[in-house]
Amino acid sequence: MTEYDELGRLIKLRKEKEALIPKVIDKKKKIRAKRKSRKVLLKKWMINILDD
CA torsion sign for 18, 20, 22, 28 is: negative
At CA 35, angle to CA 33 and CA 40, rounded to 5?
95
In tens, the pLDDT along 2-52 reads 777 888 888 888 877 777 777 777 888 888 999 999 999 999 888 888 876
Domain map of the chain by residue range? 22-52
CA-to-CA distance for 49 and 52, rounded, in angstroms?
5
**Whole-model pTM above 0.75?**
no
DSSP letters spanning 8-51: HHHHHHHHHHHHHHHHHHHHHHHHHHHHHHHHHHHHHHHHHHHH
